Amino acid sequence: MKKFWKNTILSILLFFAIMFARVIHAESSLDEIKERGYIKVSTNADFDPFEYKDGDKIIGIDVDIARKLAEYMGFGIEINDVSFDALTLELSSGACDFAIAAMSYSDEKAQSVDFSDPYYNAKNVVIVPVESSIKSVDEILDKRIGVALGFTGDIYCTEHFPSADIHRYDTASDAVLDLLSGRIDAVVIDDVPARKLVNVSDGEARVVDGYLFEESYRVAVPKGEKELLDEINTSIAKMKTDGEIDKIVAQYVGVSGGESVDLIAQIYNNLVNKDRYKMILSGLATTLEITVVALFIGLLIGFTLALINVSKSKNIIMKFLKIAANFYITVIRGTPVVVQIFVIYYLIFASTGLPKLLVAMIAFGINSGAYVAEIVRGGILSVDSGQYEAGRSLGLSAGTTMKHIILPQAVKNVLSSLTGEFINLIKETSVAGFIGVMDLSRAGNIIRSQTYEPVVPLMTVALIYFVLVALLTVVFSLIERRMRSSDKR
């Protein structure tokens, strides 16, 4: 179903992560689990009905299978939600013992993880608009085909339909949305989510008879953990023979996503039903928490680095600090924040076991620090050198002059840039979801993946960000105006 992300940068990360993980991972996983008493499992709760969120709970076919596996093996379980791209990193860094997320075998993946025996066979089918002339699955080979990025449908169509125009979406429901608006002719996706998508399309889409290909879902374990893999395979075999897996699947297939059509009903379904607004609210709280803490870390780092950078000291330690500060600023400003948060979470803090939320705060703080440093440095340089000379000529120390004479003027000069950085930070925290932090954006995405209705969750999230930013802009401009007018008294 899904395939690991092909992004070059991530591949490099992956390489380092594996190197790193090998160094810190001396003990075998099974021994560790026995010591700990429970299994750590990672999934990507964005794929209803295999793994998705109901409120704060992670549920789904895979999740129930994972629970059963743990039960059969005699352990407790802890389930974590991360982005699909991050699953390999979770495994190789030792953050989890196994990953279960409707994954199927591929040679490429098998280089970084080991796969269990299959626990479920899924068929990939074709969804078309109800009035479409397409009658059989073979007819799509030169059409505009929508797939979920990285899913096996994507790989299959890329390989087998070279003359097709393939459109890749983040989720299958996004693809169906484009299908219904006529931008594409067909969507290729696993049969279970396909049935659900057709259900919620309100009679506008149908599944074409037959299927393109079949695939087997497997559990992924860290490379080389043979004991653990054997245990899992034994338990899977047992679950198959005693009918546990069929029971679990039957429980979830046929669960309807909701039939809302008009806006009021959509709002009800996306925000009120199953207390989904609570997810949005807790996401908003998380976004604010991350932003505020990251802001303070960023200011602390930023001011420190700016002071190091403008220092005229010829001391060897200061010279070294200056080089280090410049390196830090260049690297942080020269790389995307998504990559930074991955590096910080999976490489730097991999073995510390710090909570994701804290890591996200630190990561965004580190990111913001580099920008604040440059803003503050610019502010300090914008203050006339005569101010420094006047302070020093009165016998004030360099530190006192900086603190009481230069910095107050520098900060005033760059206040609008600093508040701009704060506002940027709020929006940038939306990538915290990549390491599984349930922030505002991710809350919206999760609701979308549950209801298959993009409009209300997306607009709600956008509106909240907008109101937040607009309010802060007003507050900051008031503060700024007050600070400026104080000079003219």
Partner 1 sequence: MISVKNLYKEFKQDDKILYVLNGISVDFKKGEKVAIIGPSGSGKSTFLRCINALETPTSGEIFFKERKVDSSSSEIDDIRKNIGMVFQHFNLFPHMTIFENITFAPTMLKIYSPSQAKELAMALLEKVGLKDKWNVHPSRLSGGQKQRVAIVRSLMMNPEVMLFDEPTSALDPEVVKDVIGLMIEIAKSGMTMIMVTHEMSFVRRAATRVIFMDEGKIIADTTPENFFNNCENVRISKFLNKLI
| CA distance linking residue 371 with residue 365, whole number of Å | 10
Is 390 a binding residue for partner 1 by CB under 8 A? The answer is yes
Q: How far apart are the first and last CA of the chain?
A: 68
Under the criterion CB under 8 A, does residue 480 sit at the interface with partner 1? no
| From 35-43, 189-197, 264-272, 397-405, span contacting partner 1 (CB under 8 A) | 397-405
Minimum CB distance to partner 1, residue 414 (Å) = 14
Q: Is 482 a binder of partner 1 (CB under 8 A)? A: no
Residue 94 near residue 19 (C-beta atoms within 8 A): no
Smallest distance, Å, CB 342 to partner 1?
A: 42
Cα–Cα dist 10/208, whole Å: 36
Q: Which is nearer to partner 1, 182 or 386 (CB)?
A: 386
CB 420, min distance to partner 1, A: 22
* Per-position DSSP letters for 291-309, written without gaps between them: HHHHHHHHHHHHHHHHHHH
**For partner 1, which residue of 389, 416, 459, 478 counts as binding (CB under 8 A)?**
389
Mark out the alpha helices in 25-102 (DSSP H runs). Answer: 29-36, 61-73, 87-92
Task: Give residues 410-429 in contact with partner 1 (rule: CB under 8 A).
Answer: 412
Strand (E) or helix (H) holding 10: helix 8-24
Long-range pairs of 254-262 with CB within 8 A, sequence gap ≥ 24? 255/49, 255/196, 256/196, 256/199, 256/200, 257/48, 257/196, 257/199, 257/200, 257/450, 257/451, 257/452, 258/200, 258/451, 258/452, 258/453, 259/199, 259/200, 259/202, 260/451, 260/453, 261/202
Q: Which residue lies nearer to partner 1 by CB, 130 or 394? A: 394
Strand pairing of 76-81 and 38-43? parallel
Q: Among residues 106, 234, 335, 387, which is the contact residue for partner 1, using CB under 8 A?
A: 387
Q: Which of 7, 216, 409, 417 binds partner 1 (CB under 8 A)?
A: 409
DSSP for residue 143: S
Site residues for partner 1, 286-345, by CB under 8 A, read 314
Cβ atoms 184, 144 nearer than 8 A? yes
Q: Minimum distance between the CB of residue 487 and partner 1, rounded to whole angstroms?
A: 5
Query: Judged by CB under 8 A, which stretch of 141-149, 325-333, 336-344, 395-403 contacts partner 1?
Result: 395-403
Does position 405 interact with partner 1 (CB under 8 A)? The reply is yes
Cβ 93 vs Cβ 21: under 8 Å = yes
Beta bridge partners of 165: 144
Residue 332: which residues within 8 A CB-CB, separation 6 or more? 340, 366, 367, 369, 370, 371
Residue choice 238, 404, 416, 459 for contact with partner 1 (CB under 8 A): 404
Pick one of 121, 226, 408, 477: the residue that binds partner 1 (CB under 8 A). 408
State the Cα–Cα distance between residues 79 and 58, nearest whole angstrom.
Answer: 8
| Closer CB to partner 1, 358 or 398, in the complex | 398
Q: Is 386 a binder of partner 1 (CB under 8 A)? A: yes
Whole-angstrom distance, CA of residue 381 vs CA of residue 45: 49
* Part in contact with partner 1 (CB under 8 A); list of ranges 54-62, 188-196, 390-398, 429-437: 390-398
Q: Which of 393, 416, 473, 477 binds partner 1 (CB under 8 A)?
A: 393
Q: What is the DSSP string of 158-213?
A: HHH-TTSEEEEESSHHHHHHHHHTTS-SEEEEEHHHHHHHHHHTTTSEEEPSS-SE
Give the residue with the Cβ less far from partner 1, 35 or 489: 489
The footprint of partner 1 on this chain (CB under 8 A) covers a number of residues equal to 23
Of these, 121, 330, 397, 416, which contacts partner 1 (CB under 8 A)?
A: 397
CB of 384 to partner 1, least distance (A): 7
Residue span binding partner 1 (CB under 8 A) among the ranges 3-11, 157-165, 217-225, 384-392: 384-392
**Which runs of consecutive H residues, i.e. helices, occur in 311-393?**
316-333, 337-342, 356-382, 385-393
CB of 360 to partner 1, least distance (A): 36
Q: For residues 414 and 17, is the Cβ–Cβ distance under 8 A?
A: no
142-150, 193-201, 392-400, 461-469 -> range binding partner 1 (CB under 8 A): 392-400
Q: Residue 379 CB, nearest distance to partner 1 (Å)?
A: 13
Q: Supply the minimum distance, in Å, between the C-beta of residue 395 and partner 1.
A: 3
* From 188-196, 331-339, 364-372, 393-401, span contacting partner 1 (CB under 8 A): 393-401
Sites of contact with partner 1 (CB under 8 A): 314, 384, 386-387, 389-397, 400, 404-405, 408-409, 412, 486-489
